């Protein structure tokens, strides 16, 4: 028994389940957007967080990490049960082709599972839809839930994409806008983030690029 699951949000840096193999790579014709509400991890029903989902776009690519669970049926069942509970705001499982970093041509894997959401507010109660960058940043800067602040989610995703060597311009823009709202300097990344990985480790390929990070005058950071 074996299955592969592609992570493009918090699964990139914090899979949270036991896995047997991991690869960095991308899927085609999807892009990362912050259009999904989270009401039980980094937000609440009254003040939902904004988290990633995928939007279909011809010609786009989305970088992330793919994880393999290999073994008996019970091991697979436990991993999928964990993922379904964690990704409960996502109402679809889509299967995609995965292309490993550094390889071109034919896909490395087919039939890879990725959690996605229906982009329709009537049929999907968790779908928020797009919003201006400033509005999204204000929402993210103030939302928090049982698992932490929404802003940490964005900052950690920014770091994770730097660490695997494939920055996402939208993530960088949004993270910098959140820093503006909060009036903070530096990256704002929680220190404990590096201790949350399980399974085989991946050594960062490069440090964060200073040219894309916005540095602000000294100020007192807000904490919600």
Residues labelled catalytic: 87
SS3 content of the chain, % helix, strand, coil (to 5): 30, 30, 40
Ramachandran angles phi, psi of 169, nearest 5°: -60, -40
SS3 per-residue string spanning 30-97: EEEEEEEEECCCCCCCCCCEEEEEEEEEEEEEEEEEEEEEECCHHHHHHHHHHHHHHCCCCCEEEEEE
């Amino acid at each position: 028994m074996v299955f592969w699951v592609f992570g493009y949000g918090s699964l990139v840096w914090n899979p949270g389940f036991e896995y047997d193999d991991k690869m960095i790579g991308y899927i085609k014709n999807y892009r990362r957007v912050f259009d999904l509400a989270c009401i039980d991890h980094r937000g609440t029903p009254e003040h939902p967080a904004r988290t990633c989902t995928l939007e279909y776009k011809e010609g786009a690519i989305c970088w992330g990490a793919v994880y393999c669970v290999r073994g008996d049926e019970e091991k697979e069942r436990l991993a999928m049960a964990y993922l379904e509970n964690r990704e409960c705001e996502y109402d679809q499982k889509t299967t995609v082709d995965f292309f490993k970093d550094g390889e071109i041509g034919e896909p490395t894997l087919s039939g890879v599972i990725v959690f996605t959401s229906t982009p329709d507010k009537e049929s999907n109660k968790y779908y928020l839809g797009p919003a201006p960058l400033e509005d999204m940043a204000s929402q993210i800067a103030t939302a928090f839930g049982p698992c932490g602040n929404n802003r940490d989610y964005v900052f950690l995703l920014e770091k994770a994409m730097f660490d695997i060597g494939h920055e996402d311009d939208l993530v960088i823009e949004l993270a910098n806008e959140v820093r503006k709202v909060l009036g903070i300097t530096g990256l704002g990344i929680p220190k404990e983030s590096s201790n949350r990985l399980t399974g085989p480790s991946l050594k960062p390929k490069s440090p964060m690029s200073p040219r894309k990070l916005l540095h602000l005058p000294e100020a007192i950071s807000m904490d919600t």
